[in-house]
Amino acid sequence: MKNSNLLIIISFISIVACAQKHKSIVIAEDPTTIDYTTEVVVPKLDIPWGFVFLPDGALLITEKAGKLIHFKDGVKTNIDGLPEVYLRGQGGLMDIELHPNYSENGWLYITYSSSDGEGEGGNTALIRAQLIDTKLTSVERLYKAEPNSKRGQHFGSRIEFDNDGYLYFSIGDRGNRDVNPQDITRDCGKIYRINDDGSIPNNNPFLEFPGAKTAIYSYGHRNPQGMICHPDTGEIWVHEHGPRGGDEINRIKKGKNFGWPLISYGINYSGTSFTDDTYLPGMEQPLFYWVPSIAPSGMAYVTSDVYKDWKNNLLIGSLKFEYLERLVLDNNKVVKREKLLEGMGRVRNVRQGPDGYIYASLESIGILKIVPNKY
């Protein structure tokens, strides 16, 4: 009984300490502003990590277990030609994105965990390929993080193009927080920027640093699993998983250090602290952070007029609490939060479709379309 009471007291102290550290982040949740229904567009998917809309209205969907699915008119077709996927823990077949000029050049981009390269285990890789009928062709590997690791966590990974045609992608710290994120001579815990053919832009920030990985654009990240190009500013925004508390939204800036793990608004999963610092000189502050963590995955910026009062809002999936979160912004500050699709399943990704509707992929369910009722 004495030991049980001691554990309760220690747990209470750690919770209070965490709350005091983060008390400024409490934001009232906004009541639902839109009456909506959902339609299952693509049923019976396991872990639909990424999806994109093709010009002919079809969908390409990545299943984490290693399947690339083409879906059109109710028919699912498995696409052949993928490289071998190293399936371990959080690693697998991850994001997919189309080239901005896909209709002209047919290039699509995919991230996945690969065992190729140095060492046992795997790490995140990026390829581009073209789709001919039901097969990937002209497959080119553009980047592969090194070295491999047998750890099962923090592969990332999302892909996005900016308005200048540069390609950005994320790789998590691979669970090696004390080594990888702060070292620009090592992969992992980084946002990368390359040209669409895999070459390194001549204005990347670390070209002149001896031994640096020259594809790195920013560093000090934990595990980014959401990425957008802001439609107004052209900035790349990411969100990333914190530990216990401290999930973040960050506006990516060239060559900047985002602090992990030297600064954080989170604590260890055990309830102990690994840093007392939430700010240090030369390190960027997040636009927003969550306490408790929601385990964010997927992010979309609403530009559509389909939804009343949602325009210019962020939508972010929550794996932990199984909902889609709507964040209302005012001058780049989050002022309201709302839960959508609550209790339906783990939201892995979210996108605004070419038709202006919002689509979300939910684990063990499929891809849903959010349809506002008349108002």
Task: Give the active site residues.
Answer: 154
Of the candidates 112, 76, 75, 117, the residue with the CA atom closest to the CA atom of residue 97:
112
Cis ω before 210 (30° cut-off from 0): no
Evaluate whether 72 touches 58 at the Cβ level (below 8 Å): yes
**How would DSSP label each residue in 127-142?**
EEEEEETTEEEEEEEE
Q: Give the SS3 label for residue 375.
A: coil
- The arrangement of strands across the sheet holding 107-114 comes to 93-98, 107-114, 123-132, 135-144
What CA–CA distance (Å, rounded) separates 357 from 306? 7
What CA–CA distance (Å, rounded) separates 129 from 66? 16
- The arrangement of strands across the sheet holding 366-372 comes to 36-43, 366-372, 358-362, 347-352
Spell out the alpha helix ranges (H) of the chain: 2-21, 102-105
Q: Give the SS3 label for residue 91.
A: strand
At which residue do the structure tokens 């620009």 appear? 184
Structure-derived torsion over alpha carbons of residues 331, 295, 351, 160, reported in degrees to the nearest 10: 80
For the record, the structure tokens of 318 come out as 């929550």
**N residues, the chain:** 375
Evaluate whether 345 touches 363 at the Cβ level (below 8 Å): yes
First to last CA, the chain: 58
